[in-house]
Amino acid sequence: MNSFKPWQELERLRNDMDLMLDRYSGTTPWRLAFLPGRGARKYPQLNVIEDEARYEVEALAPGVDPDTITLSVQDNTLTISGEKKPAEDLRPEDYHRSERSVGKFVRSVQLPDHVDQDKVKAKYREGILTVVLEKSEAAKPRQIPVEVG
Amino acid sequence: MAEIEKTVPEVAEGAAARGESTREGELYAMPPVDIFEKEDALYVLADLPGVKPDGLAVNVENGVLTIEGKVEREEKAGYLRREFALTSFYRQFRIAETIDTERIKAALKNGVLHLTLPKIERAKARRIPIET
């Protein structure tokens, strides 16, 4: 089914442009497969996947204290916040290497359609936060039966 | 002071792959690490998102610590936005002789590998009796 969906195509193009700008405005122009150095770019990095009934948002956030993760949904915007806590009782001179960034973060992502606020599920496994958001009924594609007279 | 310096694991630069294809054609990334030292041990934290315990291998051989994490994921369709892709991880460190390799401990929690590298108990200063 490769039907032409102009609005979806435009949206995709816009997202691609955003992504491209995001990429080139950072310190490294190529794709990084993991969390880069501190403060280099938006954190956490997100993947957004869509199917007919839901959106799936994946956030790359290893080492975040699960108790600090909060999610909020309003209309079509998902906001993720949390804290990656530093190791305790350490003096700066104890460090030989410090490449992992720590601290509080907050990030919002706008989804193309409204979602049902009561049907948001999230899990945090292997350092990846996965949020599944059901589309609101109005946003779901509906099949209209055709009467044959 | 020089002794402390010796306990610092060094990256074997040639061995650490950074987004390079290996012979198997798989892409590896170098995980970011924190290394800090307390009186009794050296601690290594490495971010390995997406790595499950059975995909993780930590080895010490000839004074080289190797961390290797394999990521297995089903490929998904329908991306609206894609800022990251998970790849396998690989990194090596040279560790000093003052580390007791038999007692190294590893734990994986929330996508972070926690390694504890205990130091060898220093031989105590001993007074040598003099025969007369």
Kindly provide the ipTM of the predicted complex, given to two decimals: 0.71
pLDDT at B28: 82
Q: In this structure, what token pair is assigned to residue A35? A: 């969390």
pLDDT at B81: 87
Check residue B25 and give its pLDDT.
58
Contact A73, A10 (CB under 8 A): no
With contact defined as beta carbons under 8 Å apart, do A95 and B44 qualify? no
**Which residues on A lie below 8 Å from B8 (Cβ)?**
96
Among candidates B47, B78, B89 on the partner chain, residue whose Cβ is nearest the Cβ of A63 = B47
User: Is A55 buried (19+), middle (13-18) or exposed (0-12) by CB count in 10 A?
Assistant: buried
Which of B52, B84, B111 lies at the smallest CB-CB distance from A47? B84
Q: Going from the N-terminus, what domains does chain A have, and what CATH number goes with each?
A: 36-87+102-139 (2.60.40.790)
* % of chain A exceeding 70 in pLDDT: 83
Would you write out chain B's pLDDT as a tens digit for each of its 132 residues? 233 333 344 444 444 444 444 555 567 888 999 999 888 889 999 999 999 999 999 999 888 999 999 988 777 888 988 888 888 899 999 988 888 888 999 999 999 999 999 988 764 456 788 888
What is residue B127's predicted lDDT score, i.e. its pLDDT? 75
Nearest-by-Cβ selection for A34 from B31, B43, B82: B31
CB A61 within 8 A of CB A44: yes
> Which distant-in-sequence residues (6+ apart) come within 8 Å of A64 by Cβ?
A82, A83, A84, A124, A127, A129, B110
Angle at B11 between CA B51 and CA A99, to 5 degrees: 60
Distance of residue B72 Cα from the nearest chain A Cα, in angstroms: 12
Domains of chain B: 2-76+83-118 (2.60.40.790)
Query: E strands along A30-148, which residues?
Result: 45-50, 54-60, 70-74, 77-84, 95-98, 103-110, 115-125, 128-135
pLDDT of residue A39: 45
Residue A69 has pLDDT above 90, yes or no: yes
List, edge to edge, every strand of the sheet that includes A77-84: A70-74, A77-84, A103-110
A73 pLDDT exceeds 50? yes
Helices (H), chain A: 6-25
Q: What does the alpha-carbon distance between residue A70 and residue A83 come to, in Å, rounded to a whole number?
A: 10
Please provide residue A16's backbone torsions phi and psi, each rounded to the nearest 5 degrees.
Answer: -60, -40
Chain B CB contacts of A60 under 8 Å are 49, 83-84, 86
How far apart CA B117 and CA B43 sit, in angstroms, is: 6
Minimal CA separation from B102 to chain A, in Å: 22
Residue A6, preceding peptide bond in cis (omega within 30° of 0)? no
Give the pLDDT confidence score for residue B74 in this predicted structure.
Answer: 78
Contact call for B49 and A128, based on CB within 8 A: yes
Q: Which among A108, A117, A109 is positioned nearest to A135, based on CA atoms?
A: A117
Q: How confident is the model at residue A78 (pLDDT cuts 50, 70, 90)?
A: very high
Q: Tell me: the pLDDT tens digits for A19-45?
A: 766 655 444 444 444 444 444 467 888
* pLDDT attached to residue A71: 94
Q: A92: helix, coil or strand?
A: helix
Q: Give the Cα separation of A100 and A39 in Å (integer).
A: 10
